[in-house]
Structure formats: structure tokens, C-alpha cells
Amino acid sequence: MGRVGVVTFPGSLDDGDAARAVRLAGGEPVRLWHAEADLHGVDAVVLPGGFSYGDYLRCGAIARFAPVMEPLVDAARGGMPVLGICNGFQVLCEAHLLPGALVRNDHRTFVCTDQRLRVEASTAWTHEYALGEELVVPLKNGEGGYLADQRTLDELEAEGRVALRYVVPEGGRNPNGSARDIAGVTNAAGNVVGLMPHPEHAVEAGFGPDPRSGTSGTDGLRFFTSALRSLVG
């Protein structure tokens, strides 16, 4: 059984959900406290959603300097699977483990919806999905617009590092103004993934997206089983 650390920062609010998702996927969740520079021997790490340190300065800007981040950055650069969800994605960008930045939604309002995504890359966290497969997981953010300079965006596209993309209806627009409809990105090695939507909220039937919308309600579970099986591999 893989041991997956879930970091709690002051203001985290999806850490419990992330730990539950790890457990439902067959892993052992290990709670990691932001003030401890110790990963306690875990095999992978999830940085959950929320409002770390109240989102003062910029989202994730203070969390990036938390004691737990020093060993986490070293472990990620050494190949440990790391997933950043929503605020966790922001933290990974602030820590320069992923390129780009997350900014306020272009419509300047908070969005909360069941969001359709398309899997664009095989990574430690997505390899159990088929490339091009579409899934539905909740999306909830006020600062979820992914931006990067054109050179970085072109590199992400050329290197196959756009992990997930928002599925946008013909003539429509993505939910937060993200460049090129990008919902998630990965590093070059494929072990670090950041995404804005919340797969941990779609891991058990009856507690996720409504099946009447054409989904099982459990589309997010394979993020976590992917990571656990990549550890075995």
C-alpha cells in the first residue's frame, strides 16, 4: 500500500477530502503539517485546495515558503509524484515546480460547477485515463485562470505537458479565462501535476457530480489509483 502525504496549510479546506480519496483508491493517507520540514517517509504528496495563509500576497505565495516545502521540492525534483489541486496548483507554480501562474478569473467572479475536462497527457497521476478521454469533476475557484508567456505555452504544447484541458462548447469559453483552455500542466518528467479542478470531489458514487449529467460521479478516482500504481511500477 502506497503512503500518500496530504499537506495541511493554515486555510486548507480540501485536505480531508484528498486524504479520503487516497484511502478510497487503496492507499494510506498520511497527514503532513505545513510547519514540519519532514515528509515522514511518504511515497507521494498531494497539495490540496483551499486558501493557504488566507491567500495574502498572492495565492500560494506564502505557502511556498512553508517548512514542509523544502523537502517536498527536493523530493519532487527527485521524481516523487506530487499533485497540486486548485490552491495546491498555485503553490506548485509559486515554488517553480511548474511554469506559469494562476490569476483571478477573467469574469472576476467565483465559479463553482461540474466541469468537463479532456486528458491530454499520460503522467504519474493520469496514466489510467486514455489520451483524449473526457471526465467530469467539480471546479470551484476565484483565481483559476492559468497564464504563461507565449514561449512557455508553446513549449508546453510541443512537449506534451498540457495534462488536462477544459472542454469548451462550440463558440463558448472556458470557465476562468485560462490560456489555451489549460486546466492542468505537468513537469517534463511527468511526476508533478497541477490542476485547477478537484478530482478528490469525484471519487465515490452519490457524493460527486450528478450521474444525470452523463458521468459516473467517480471520474476523479483514477488520479489517485494512477499514482498508487505508478509507485508499484
CB atoms within 10 A of CB 138: 18
Question: What average pLDDT does range 133-156 have in this prediction?
Answer: 97
What is the rounded distance in angstroms from the CA atom of residue 30 to the CA atom of residue 36? 13
Residues carrying an active site annotation: 86, 198, 200
Question: What average pLDDT does range 2-15 have in this prediction?
Answer: 97
Q: What pTM, to 2 d.p., does this model score? A: 0.96
The pLDDT of residue 56 is 80
What is the rounded distance in angstroms from the CA atom of residue 60 to the CA atom of residue 64? 6
Question: What average pLDDT does range 133-159 have in this prediction?
Answer: 97
Contacts of 209 (CB under 8 A, 6+ apart): 114, 136, 137, 138, 202, 215, 217, 219
The pLDDT of residue 55 is 83
The pLDDT of residue 208 is 87
**Is the separation of the CB atoms in 82 and 72 below 8 Å?**
yes
Q: pLDDT-based confidence at 64, cuts 50/70/90?
A: very high
**What does the longest C-alpha to C-alpha distance in the chain come to?**
49
What is the rounded distance in angstroms from the CA atom of residue 169 to the CA atom of residue 134? 13
Q: pLDDT-based confidence at 58, cuts 50/70/90?
A: confident
Question: What average pLDDT does range 109-137 have in this prediction?
Answer: 97
Question: What average pLDDT does range 141-170 have in this prediction?
Answer: 97
The pLDDT of residue 1 is 73
Question: What average pLDDT does range 112-119 have in this prediction?
Answer: 96
Q: pLDDT-based confidence at 139, cuts 50/70/90?
A: very high
What is the rounded distance in angstroms from the CA atom of residue 72 to the CA atom of residue 80? 9
Question: What average pLDDT does range 42-54 have in this prediction?
Answer: 96
pLDDT at 233 over 70: no
Structure confidence by residue, pLDDT tens digits, 161-187: 999 999 999 889 999 999 999 999 999
Query: Percent of the chain at pLDDT above 70?
Result: 100
The pLDDT of residue 210 is 79
